[in-house]
Structure 1
Amino acid sequence: MNGITLMIIAILVLGAGYLLYGRWLARTWGIDENAPTPAYTQEDGVDYVPADTNVVFGHQFASIAGAGPINGPIQAAIFGWVPVLLWILIGGVFFGAVQDFASMYASVKSKGKGIGSIIEMYIGKTGKKLFLLFCWLFCILVVAAF
C-alpha cells in the first residue's frame, strides 16, 4: 500500500470521526451550541477572553497531536506501521478525541475550571493530588524522550 492511499484512508477516517462521531457525541450529551461559554459569561480580558474558532482549533489540535512525532516513530520501529496507523486512526477518534471532548465539556459546564479543580470538586483532594502526580510523571516521560 502506498503513501497516498494511506493518507486518503486517514483523511476519510478522521473526517468521518469529526463529522459523524463528534456530532453524535454532541447530540447524545445534549450540548447546546448556542449556550454561552465561560469566555463570554465571565469575560475579564485576562483569563476569560473569547477566541477565534481557528485559534481554539489550533490549541485543540496541538493538544491531541503533541506527542505523536515523539512516540510514533518509536512505536513503528517496535510494532510495525500497521498497528501504529490503526492506533492513530482508531485510538485518535475513539480515545483521544473523546477524552478531549469530555474534558472540554466538563470545563465549560464548570465555569471554565481546570480538570484538577473539577476532580477535586467531585472526588476530593486525594484524587486531585493523584491526577497532578500523573501529570508530573507524564511530563517527565515526554522530557525524557527529548
Structure 2
Amino acid sequence: MLTFVASILFLLAGYFIYAKVVERIFGINDENQTPAYTHNDGFDYTPMSWWRASLIQLLNIAGLGPIFGAVMGALYGPVAFIWIVIGCIFAGAVHDYFSGMMSVRHKGAQYPTIVGKYLGKNVAKVINLLSIALMILCSGCIYGRSGRTYGSSDATKLYRSTYYHFCLFPGGDDAACS
C-alpha cells in the first residue's frame, strides 16, 4: 500500500509541478491555434471537445500499460511499480507532450515527416522502417499469445515467423516475449 500511495503522490507532483517546468522549457503560447482549427478538413484535422481529446490521449498512453506493468511487476516486484511511475513522469509524459507540441508547431506533421525535415529523408525512411518493424513485433506477440490461448494455428505461425524474421530466433522461441 505504501508504494501505491507514493506512486499517486509522485504522479500528482509530476502533474502539478513538473508539467509547468516542461511547459516553460517548450515555451507554449496559448494564443496559437492547433492544426485542428487551422487545417480543419473534417477527417484528419477535426476540433474535438476537451473530454474527447483527453479520452483519446488516455487510451493512447494506456495501450501497453496493462501488459507491460503486469509483466514488470511479476518479474521485479513492487520496485517495478515505482520505476514505471517515475518513468511515466520523466520519460513517457515528456516524450508524448513534446511529440504533440512539435507536431503542432509543424502544422500537424507526423513524427517521420518532422525527422525528415531536420535530419534528412534517409533518416525518415529508417524511422518509418523501425515503426513498421515494431508494429509487426507487437502484433506477433499479441497474435502468438492469443493463438495459443484460443488454439489458432494461423496466429501461432504468424507469431513464429515474426520472431524468425525480425528477432533472429529460429523457430519462434518465445523467451523474448515472456
Give your verdict on TM over 0.5.
Answer: yes
Spell out, residue by residue over 1:39-70, the C-alpha distance to the aligned partner (whole angstroms, 9 max, x if none): 11111222211111122212222222211111
- Where relative contact order (Cα < 8 A, 6+ residues apart) is larger, the structure is 1
Question: Are residues 1:130 and 2:126 paired?
Answer: yes
Q: Is 2:64 the partner of 1:61?
A: no
CA RMSD of aligned residues (A): 1.6
Equivalent-residue separation in structure 2 for 1:121 and 1:97 (angstroms)? 24
Residue 34 (structure 1) aligned with residue 31 (structure 2) = yes
Give 1:78's aligned residue: 75
Q: SS of the residue aligned with 1:34?
A: coil
What pairs up with 1:67-106 in 2 under 5 angstroms?
67-82=64-79, 84-106=80-102
Residues 19-54 of structure 1: CA deviation (Å, up to 9, x unaligned): 211121112221012211111111122221111112
**TM-score (structure 2 length as normaliser):** 0.73
SS of the residue corresponding to residue 29 of structure 2 reads coil
Contact 1:13/1:89 (<8 A) preserved: yes
- Moved >6 Å (runs of 4+): none
Structure 1 residue 104 displacement after superposition? 0.3
Shift of residue 106, structure 1, vs aligned partner: 0.5
Which residue type is aligned with residue 55 of structure 2? G
Number of positions where the alignment pairs a residue of Structure 1 with one of Structure 2: 142
Cα contact 1:70–1:145 (8 A) shared by 2: no
Counterpart position of 1:46: 43
Larger Rg: 2
The Cα shift of 1:11 comes to 2.0
CA deviation after TM superposition for structure 1 residue 96, in Å: 0.4
Task: Note if contact 1:103-1:115 (Cα within 8 Å) is conserved in structure 2.
Answer: yes
Identity of aligned residues (%): 37
Q: Structure 1 residue 15 and structure 2 residue 36: aligned?
A: no
CA distance in structure 1 between the partners assigned to 2:125 and 2:71 by the alignment: 30
> Mind listing any 5+ residue stretches in structure 1 that lack a counterpart?
none
Q: 1:78 to 1:8 in 2, by over 3 A?
A: closer
Structure 2's unaligned 5+ residue stretches are 143-178
Q: Is the 8 A contact 2:7 2:82 kept in 1?
A: no
Give the stretch that moved more between structures: 96-105 or 135-144: 135-144
TM-score by length of 1: 0.88
